[in-house]
């Protein structure tokens, strides 16, 4: 199996699993935080979409993030340059309560673009080193300067599964073993 095929299968399966974890949650459950320094499910889903958007739009394609281009930051009432990385307790407390349909709308827009980008890639593209941060202006560009696109997949896939575990855990705290 080629890495592109593996990544495509991952991105499709992840979406199914994420939506299964969101299924039936109320607005309150989606935005509930178990502690002041913890994230809500809504925050985690938004963060997953923001990070994937940054990796594919800026890091791989060197284009404007869907977050900005399609005005999702305005629709969700969040800062244009924010991704949720390194948020303080105060920033978490100020994070707006988000509706599931808005989260799904942004996530779906990002995922659709990811799959198009992936289908356009060649195996040779996987060895390319874009030499930039997925988040312009974040000050972390040197950390990613040597990442190949293949390395980016390893980073992103690991992070997304980790965050799916967070979502499922928080759902379990609220609903127990409800399936």
Q: What residues of the chain score a pLDDT lower than 70?
A: 137-142, 179
pLDDT in tens, 126-160: 999 998 888 776 555 567 778 999 999 999 999 99
**pLDDT for the residue numbered 82:** 87
Structural domain total, the chain:
1
Domain residues for the domain of 99 are 3-175
Stated pTM of the model: 0.94
Could you tell me the CATH number of the domain that includes residue 119? 1.20.120.450
Q: Please state, in angstroms and as integers, the Cα–Cα distance from residue 166 to each residue in 47, 67, 69, 101, 173, following that order.
A: 12, 23, 29, 20, 11
Position 11 scores a pLDDT of 95
């Amino acid at each position: 199996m080629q890495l592109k095929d593996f990544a495509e299968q991952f991105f499709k399966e992840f979406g199914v699993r994420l939506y299964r974890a969101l299924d039936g949650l109320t607005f309150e459950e989606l935005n509930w935080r178990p502690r002041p320094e913890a994230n809500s499910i809504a925050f985690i889903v938004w963060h997953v979409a923001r990070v994937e958007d940054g990796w594919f739009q800026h890091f791989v394609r060197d284009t404007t993030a869907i977050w900005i281009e399609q005005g999702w930051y305005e629709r969700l009432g969040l800062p244009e340059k924010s991704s949720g990385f390194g948020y303080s307790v105060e920033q978490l407390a100020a994070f707006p309560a988000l509706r599931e349909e808005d989260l799904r709308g942004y996530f779906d827009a990002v995922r659709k673009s990811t799959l198009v980008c992936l289908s356009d890639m060649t195996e040779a593209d996987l060895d390319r080193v874009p030499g930039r941060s997925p988040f312009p202006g974040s000050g972390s560009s040197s950390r990613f300067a040597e990442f190949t696109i293949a390395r980016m997949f390893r980073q992103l896939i690991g992070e997304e599964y980790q965050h799916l575990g967070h979502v499922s855990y928080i759902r379990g705290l609220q609903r127990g073993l409800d399936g």
